[in-house]
């Protein structure tokens, strides 16, 4: 992770805006952030951390509320803008704290945004050319933590080491140090492996436990199938509970097999007892059935004898019924003739009564004959003819009424048509004058509007001239700035050239001291060739090195290039001034402005005329359309008037023709419809009378015919008259009942004789006496005994079969338990080892074991630097012991300090907490640098390319400070960037690149950058 650029505005003590280009500031690898105590140095560190994580870098007493500067303008927004690079690319984050704008009651919430930047945009300083990734604080913080790979706390332990936090990594307890290193080195894969093994082990153990539970459940099911109770059930349950392993289930299986065998033996004994009881029950059931059959036959014989006696007593009555049925059969032959005669007689009486009701004369029904029918029919035909003629006239009468109504409506249509003609004539005469007036106005408006195009061209030309004056002003200002930049670049180049010359002279003067620094005893001097060096030049005589000269040369070349570039800009700016002055030759600002104003006024007037002309054209078009419509309306109205007049004339003629036909046929009635209605009623009455006469004559003929047929039928059946036949005839229900009685009697007599002759009845004497109850009681007792034996046998058989099947289930589940126990063994052991279980010797989880190896690398690298800084006194060692007073679990990541000056044997072990302030500082520094070194060398880890240290240098003596600075200076060779926050004066002499924070009189501060 590397910082690239920081911009701060209105934050902490900084009221104004300033930017720090870390790429330029860290070109030499080391820079100093210095200033008086309380000036705001730590605020810059806070700004970096706050930009990334939304929280400051200070301790518990520090709050985010101090981010908003109290010196900033109330109407000005505060912000921190940070550009940084990680393995995933370069990114820009911008945060604003919560603040209340002047005049507002409610505060503006804090905000945060994250963008992705290309490297080319960073090099071109185009920080707005970026791609937005997050626009809300929550999403921004989470995404940055993912990109950096560190939480805020871990960031403050590895990259930014603020006041009060520098020694955290050295003094962390084992568990927190383990968590930090796991995050930094990304050992999550090992932790996931351990967790996966743990999950699989849990799943495998769950299956084994489930199999064992199923086996135990099957044993319990076997006890239920055997219906075990008491000691036997308890013994089997105790054996099952004691089996913690498939090998322990042998005793349980043996007990279960013995119990099943006993159940099978009991089942066989119960089957034998059931068979003997069933045989006895069958024998007694046969004896009981024989006694019951004999008693039943005796009862049947008694019933048959009694029935035979009753039938013999009913025989005279049956013979009499048989004779009546014979006479009824003869009467039935003439029944239809009697019925027909009765119907004909009734129909004649009905016809006579109907005729008497309809005939208005005094004629008797007996006087009606064929002549009467003929005269009445002729009268009906005459009346029917008149009905047809009157019906036709009634239709004509309806048409007459409709014609009159239609004539009235036609007269109303004629009146409206006449009104339309008058209105259309008035409108057609008024429109031509209106059209003429609009045409004259349109001609004047179009003449004015024709000037729009020429006015627009003139206005554009004048506006371009006015804009050219603004271009001239900008060009003159740019030329002035370019000339100033040329003067500044020339001065910078002169300063760089003088510095280069000074460094070259100093390096030349220091050559002897430089050569002396490379001399060794016994080796020839490159200048004089001597192998002895009695008085070499001291190192303090070195005023400049070859590198200093090369740096000065580079600075001079860069200044020369900048001067050439600014001169080019100045030439271009002067050319633009000359071009603008040439374009505006002979013109003044005032004349152009006056002409432009006049032209724009005339153009506005012409455009108004143009709009009015468009409106007049629409109005003229509307008037012409209305004139054409008025002519069409007049023609249509005239046509409608002529059609109405013709229709009225036709209706008048139709009314006169209808009246000529209707009036002669009224015959005293108001209308033809009234006369038709009265005539139809009389005709219908006549039609009913004719039908009654015809019906009377027909009924009289039918009666004569039926009377002759009845006389012949009575004579043939042997009846003296109709009365005798009627008396012999029986109702249908009575005849059916008599026939049924006779047939049932004869059938019953036949059935009784047949049943008495049957062998099983005929052989009986009536003296037999069977013991039905006694034999039945003995049979029921034997059957109940047999059923009880069968139930006992069924229960025993069911128990033995169920137990044998359940014993098979027990065996199958025991085998399944054994298979699962065997297959789960390897994964259970691996999970136990990876998660520091009971089988682990080290008691250290897999992920921690991997981290411990990385930690040993860190300590080795730290000891290399610590040997130089402490002059071999201190060394760091990893310890498996827990820190004193700690409740943490054993992880093997404790730190012990070995003090070679602490005891006589030079191997005293000390706690890191026992070190002094200065010792703690440089030991922590060595450890922090080692962490970054190992991470950089580790593929897949987090690149820690930047280190910011905000304390401790004031606690070092002069010699130790020199050793520490030598170590930090060496980091530049590896491309590392280290920022030091200090107010120690000696640091300024050692570090050229500096960010200086200077307090101002009003309590605010400003930043000065030197690089």
Chain segment 221-252, per-residue pLDDT in tens? 888 888 888 888 888 888 888 888 888 887 88
Q: What pLDDT score does 60 carry?
A: 45
Q: What pLDDT score does 939 carry?
A: 44
Q: How many helices (H) and strands (E) does the chain have?
A: 25, 15
Cα 863–867–869 angle (5° rounding)?
115
Closest CA to 648 of 394, 415, 395: 415
CA distance 335 to 796: 83
List, for residues 114-158, the tens digit of each pLDDT value: 999 998 888 888 888 889 999 998 889 889 988 888 778 777 767
Q: What pLDDT score does 61 carry?
A: 45
CA distance 805 to 260: 10
Q: What pLDDT score does 5 carry?
A: 94
CA distance 296 to 26: 131
pLDDT reading at 706 higher than 50: yes
CA distance 911 to 920: 11
Phi, psi dihedral angles at 126 (to 5 degrees): -100, 75
pLDDT reading at 283 higher than 90: no
**pLDDT, mean of residues 275-289:** 88
**pTM over 0.85, yes/no:** no
* Residue in the structure block whose two tokens are 């990876």: 834
First to last CA, the chain: 22
Is residue 554 helix, strand or coil? helix
CB atoms within 10 A of CB 433: 8
Closest CA to 942 of 4, 157, 41, 375: 157
993, 1001 contact by CB (below 8 A): no
SS3 helix, strand, coil % of the chain, rounded to 5?
A: 70, 10, 20
Least confident of 631-635, 984-988, 993-997: 984-988
Confidence at 19, pLDDT banded by 50, 70, 90 = very high
Q: What pLDDT score does 811 carry?
A: 87
CA distance 996 to 991: 12
pLDDT reading at 711 higher than 90: no
Q: What pLDDT score does 352 carry?
A: 84
List, for residues 804-825, the tens digit of each pLDDT value: 888 888 888 888 888 888 888 7
CA distance 792 to 430: 127
Higher pLDDT, 636 or 113: 113
pLDDT reading at 842 higher than 80: no
> By percentage, how much of the chain surpasses pLDDT 90?
6
List, for residues 647-699, the tens digit of each pLDDT value: 888 888 888 888 888 888 888 888 888 888 988 888 888 888 888 888 888 88
Closest CA to 66 of 90, 92, 99, 36: 99
User: 590 exposed, middle or buried (CB, 10 Å; 0-12, 13-18, 19+)?
Assistant: exposed
Q: What pLDDT score does 78 carry?
A: 93
Phi-psi region of 930 (alpha: psi -120 to 50; beta: other; left: phi over 0): alpha
CB atoms within 10 A of CB 124: 10
Q: What pLDDT score does 50 carry?
A: 92
Phi, psi dihedral angles at 576 (to 5 degrees): -65, -35
- The length of the chain is 1011
* CA torsion angle 267 271 272 277 (round to 10): 140
CB atoms within 10 A of CB 857: 16
Beta-bridge mates of residue 7:
19, 81
Instruction: Give the CA distances from residue 89 to residues 4, 66, 117, 159, 254, in Å, rounded to whole numbers and listed in that order.
Output: 12, 31, 8, 18, 73
CA distance 819 to 593: 103
Higher pLDDT, 108 or 176: 108
Q: What pLDDT score does 662 carry?
A: 84
Quote the DSSP letter at residue 55. Answer: S
Confidence at 528, pLDDT banded by 50, 70, 90 = very low
**pLDDT, mean of residues 44-64:** 76
Instruction: State how far Cα 632 lies from the chain centre.
Output: 67
Strand 994-999 to strand 946-949: parallel, antiparallel, or no bridges (unpaired)?
Answer: unpaired
CA distance 798 to 784: 21
Confidence at 384, pLDDT banded by 50, 70, 90 = confident
CB atoms within 10 A of CB 916: 8
Q: What pLDDT score does 114 carry?
A: 94
Q: What pLDDT score does 522 carry?
A: 60
Q: What pLDDT score does 937 carry?
A: 63
Confidence at 885, pLDDT banded by 50, 70, 90 = very low
Quote the DSSP letter at residue 68. Answer: B
List, for residues 315-370, the tens digit of each pLDDT value: 888 888 888 888 888 888 888 888 888 888 888 889 888 888 888 777 888 888 88
Residues 6+ away with beta carbon under 8 Å from 883: 173, 174, 894, 911
Quote the DSSP letter at residue 972. Answer: G
**pLDDT, mean of residues 700-712:** 85
Q: What pLDDT score does 557 carry?
A: 80
CA distance 194 to 178: 16
Q: What pLDDT score does 401 carry?
A: 85
Instruction: State how far Cα 740 lies from the chain centre.
Output: 87
List, for residues 726-775, the tens digit of each pLDDT value: 888 888 898 898 889 888 888 988 988 888 888 888 888 878 888 888 88
Confidence at 93, pLDDT banded by 50, 70, 90 = very high
CA distance 523 to 58: 55
CB atoms within 10 A of CB 695: 17
Q: What pLDDT score does 529 carry?
A: 47
pLDDT reading at 567 higher than 80: no
Mean pLDDT of the chain: 81
**pLDDT, mean of residues 557-564:** 81
**pLDDT, mean of residues 961-983:** 73
CA distance 469 to 67: 47
Structure token pair of residue 442: 């349109």
Least confident of 180-184, 394-398, 408-412, 718-722: 180-184
CA distance 566 to 723: 160
Beta-bridge mates of residue 96:
111
Closest CA to 72 of 52, 94, 96: 96
pLDDT reading at 406 higher than 80: yes
Strand 160-161 to strand 946-949: parallel, antiparallel, or no bridges (unpaired)?
Answer: parallel
Q: What pLDDT score does 987 carry?
A: 75
CB atoms within 10 A of CB 302: 11
Domains and CATH numbers, the chain: 2-149+943-1010 (3.40.50.300), 397-517+539-622 (no CATH)
Of 6-20, 357-371, 547-561, which one has max mean pLDDT? 6-20
User: 846 exposed, middle or buried (CB, 10 Å; 0-12, 13-18, 19+)?
Assistant: buried
């Amino acid at each position: 992770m590397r910082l690239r650029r920081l911009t701060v505005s209105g934050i902490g003590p900084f009221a104004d805006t300033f930017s720090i280009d870390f790429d330029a500031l860290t070109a030499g690898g080391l820079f100093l952030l210095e200033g008086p105590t309380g000036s705001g140095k730590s605020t810059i560190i806070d700004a970096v951390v706050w930009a990334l994580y939304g929280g400051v870098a200070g301790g518990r007493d520090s709050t985010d509320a101090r981010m908003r500067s109290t010196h900033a303008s109330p109407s000005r927004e505060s912000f921190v803008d940070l550009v940084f690079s990680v393995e995933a690319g370069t990114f820009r984050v911008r945060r604003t704290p919560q603040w209340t704008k002047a005049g507002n009651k409610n505060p503006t919430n804090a905000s945060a945004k994250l963008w992705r930047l290309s490297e080319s945009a960073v090099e071109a300083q185009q920080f707005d050319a970026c791609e937005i990734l997050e626009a809300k604080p929550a999403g921004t913080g989470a995404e940055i933590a993912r990109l950096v790979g560190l939480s805020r706390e871990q960031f403050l332990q590895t990259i930014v080491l603020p006041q009060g936090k520098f020694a955290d990594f050295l003094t962390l307890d084992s568990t927190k140090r383990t968590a930090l290193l796991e995050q930094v080195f990304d050992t999550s894969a090992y932790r996931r492996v351990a967790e996966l093994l743990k999950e699989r082990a849990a799943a495998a153990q769950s299956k084994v436990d489930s199999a064992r539970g199923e086996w135990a459940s099957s044993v319990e099911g076997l006890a239920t199938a055997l219906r075990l109770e008491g000691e036997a059930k308890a013994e089997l349950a105790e054996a099952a509970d004691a089996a913690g392993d498939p090998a322990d289930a042998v005793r349980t299986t043996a007990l279960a097999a013995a119990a099943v065998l006993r159940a099978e033996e009991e089942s066989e004994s119960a089957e034998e007892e059931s068979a003997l009881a069933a045989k006895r029950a069958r024998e007694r059931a046969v004896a009981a059935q024989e006694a019951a059959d004999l008693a039943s036959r005796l009862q049947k014989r008694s019933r048959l004898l009694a029935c035979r006696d009753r039938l013999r007593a009913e025989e005279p009555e049956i013979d009499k019924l048989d004779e009546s049925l014979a006479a009824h059969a003869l009467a039935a032959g003439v029944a239809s003739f009697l019925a027909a005669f009765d119907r004909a007689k009734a129909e004649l009486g009905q016809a006579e009564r109907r005729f008497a009701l309809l005939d208005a004369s005094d004629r008797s029904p007996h006087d009606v004959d064929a002549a009467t029918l003929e005269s009445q029919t002729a009268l009906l035909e005459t009346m029917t003819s008149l009905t047809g003629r009157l019906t036709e006239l009634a239709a004509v009468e309806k048409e007459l009424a409709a014609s009159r109504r239609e004539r009235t409506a036609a007269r109303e249509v004629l009146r409206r048509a006449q009104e339309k003609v008058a209105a259309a004539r008035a409108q057609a005469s008024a429109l031509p004058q209106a059209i003429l007036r609009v045409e004259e106005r349109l001609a004047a408006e179009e003449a004015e509007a024709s000037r729009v195009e020429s006015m627009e061209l003139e206005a554009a030309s004048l506006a371009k001239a006015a804009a050219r004056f603004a271009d001239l002003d900008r060009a003159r200002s740019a030329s002035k700035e370019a000339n100033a930049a040329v003067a500044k670049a020339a001065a910078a180049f002169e300063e760089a050239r003088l510095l280069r010359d000074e460094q070259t002279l100093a390096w030349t003067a220091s050559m002897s001291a430089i050569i002396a620094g490379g001399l060794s005893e016994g080796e020839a001097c490159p200048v004089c060739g001597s192998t002895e060096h009695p008085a070499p030049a001291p190192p303090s005589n070195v005023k400049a090195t070859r590198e200093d000269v090369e740096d000065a040369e580079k600075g001079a070349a860069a200044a020369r290039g900048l001067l050439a570039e600014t001169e080019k800009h100045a030439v271009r700016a002067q050319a633009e001034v000359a071009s603008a002055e040439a374009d505006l030759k002979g013109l003044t600002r005032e004349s152009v402005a006056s002409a432009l104003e006049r032209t724009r006024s005339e153009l506005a007037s012409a455009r108004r005329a143009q709009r009015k002309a468009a409106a007049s054209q629409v109005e003229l078009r509307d008037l012409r359309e209305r004139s054409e419509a008025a002519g069409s309306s007049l023609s249509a109205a005239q046509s409608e008037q002529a059609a109405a007049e013709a229709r009225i004339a036709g209706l008048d003629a139709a009314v006169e023709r209808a009246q000529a036909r209707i009036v002669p046929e009224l015959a005293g009635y108001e209308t033809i419809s009234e006369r038709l209605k009265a005539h139809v009623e009389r005709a219908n009455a006549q039609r009913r009378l004719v039908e009654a006469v015809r019906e009377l004559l027909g009924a009289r003929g039918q009666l004569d015919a039926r009377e002759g047929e009845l006389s012949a039928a009575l004579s043939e059946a042997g009846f003296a008259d109709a009365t005798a036949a009627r008396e012999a005839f029986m109702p249908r229900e009575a005849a059916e009942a008599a026939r049924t009685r006779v047939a049932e009697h004869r059938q019953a007599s036949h059935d009784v004789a047949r049943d008495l002759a049957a062998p099983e009845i005929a052989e009986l004497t009536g003296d037999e006496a069977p013991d039905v109850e006694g034999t039945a009681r003995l049979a029921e007792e034997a059957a109940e005994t047999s059923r009880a034996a069968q139930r006992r046998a069924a229960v025993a058989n069911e128990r033995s079969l169920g137990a044998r099947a359940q014993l098979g289930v027990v065996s199958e589940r025991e085998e399944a338990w054994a298979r699962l126990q065997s297959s789960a063994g390897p994964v259970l052991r691996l999970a136990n080892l990876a998660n520091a279980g009971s089988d682990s010797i080290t008691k250290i989880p897999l992920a921690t074991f991997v981290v411990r190896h990385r930690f040993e690398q860190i300590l080795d690298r730290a000891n290399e630097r610590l040997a130089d800084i402490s002059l071999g006194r201190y060394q760091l060692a990893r310890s498996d012991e827990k820190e004193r007073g700690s409740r943490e679990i054993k992880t093997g990541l404790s730190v012990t300090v070995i003090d070679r000056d602490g005891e006589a044997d030079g191997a005293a072990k000390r706690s890191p907490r026992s070190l002094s302030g200065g010792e703690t500082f440089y030991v922590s520094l060595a450890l922090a640098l080692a962490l970054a070194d190992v991470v950089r060398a580790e593929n897949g880890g987090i690149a820690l390319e930047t280190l910011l240290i905000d304390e401790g240098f004031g606690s070092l003596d002069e010699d130790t400070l020199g050793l520490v600075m030598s170590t930090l200076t060496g980091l530049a060779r590896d491309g590392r960037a280290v920022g030091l926050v200090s107010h120690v004066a000696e640091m300024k002499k050692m570090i050229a690149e500096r960010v200086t924070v200077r307090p101002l009189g009003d309590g605010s501060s400003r930043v000065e950058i030197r690089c």
